[in-house]
Structure 1
Amino acid sequence: MTNLAVAITPHREVLVRRATNKDLNVLNNIEAQCFATDRLSKRSIKRWLTVKHGILLVAEQQGQVVAYGLVWCLKGTRLARLYSLAVLPEARGTGIAEQLLKQLEQEAQHAGRAYLRLEVSANNHKAIRLYQRLGYKTFGAYHDYYGDGSEALRMQKQIARFAGDGISQQVPWYMQTTEFTCGPAALMMAMASINEQCEPTQLEELAIWREATTIFMTSGHGGCHPIGLALSAQYRGFSADVYINKREALFLEGVRSDKKKRIMELVHNDFVNQAQVSGVDIHYQDVKQQDVEQLLQAGKRVLVLISTYRLDGKKAPHWVCITAMDTHCIYVHDPELATHQAAIDCQHVPIARADFDKMSSFGAARLRSLITIE
Structure 2
Amino acid sequence: MNLDILIQNARLNDNEETVDVGIKDGIIKEISKKVSDSAEKVIDAEGRVLIPGMIEGHIHLDKALIAGRKPNMSGTLKEAIEVTAALKPTFTEEDIYERAKDALEMIIPRGVTQIRTHAEFDPAQGFTGFNTIMKLKEEYKNLIDIQVVAFPQEGIYQKPGTKEMMYEAMEMGADVVGGIPYNDKDAQEHIDLVFEIAKKYDKPIDFHQDFSDEANDMSIEYLSKKTIEEGYQGRVSVGHLTALHAVPDERLNPIIEKMAEAGISVMALPATDLHLGARNDEYNVRRAVTPIRKLRDGGVNVCIATNNIRNAFTPYGNGDIIQTTMLAIPVGHLGGAKDLPTVLPMITTNPAKALGLENYGIAEGNKANLVLLDTKVKEHAIIDIPERLYVIKDGRISVKNTRTTTIYR
Q: TM-score, normalised by structure 1?
A: 0.30
Q: Which has the larger radius of gyration?
A: 1
Larger % of strand: which? 1
Higher relative contact order (CA 8 A, sep 6+): 2
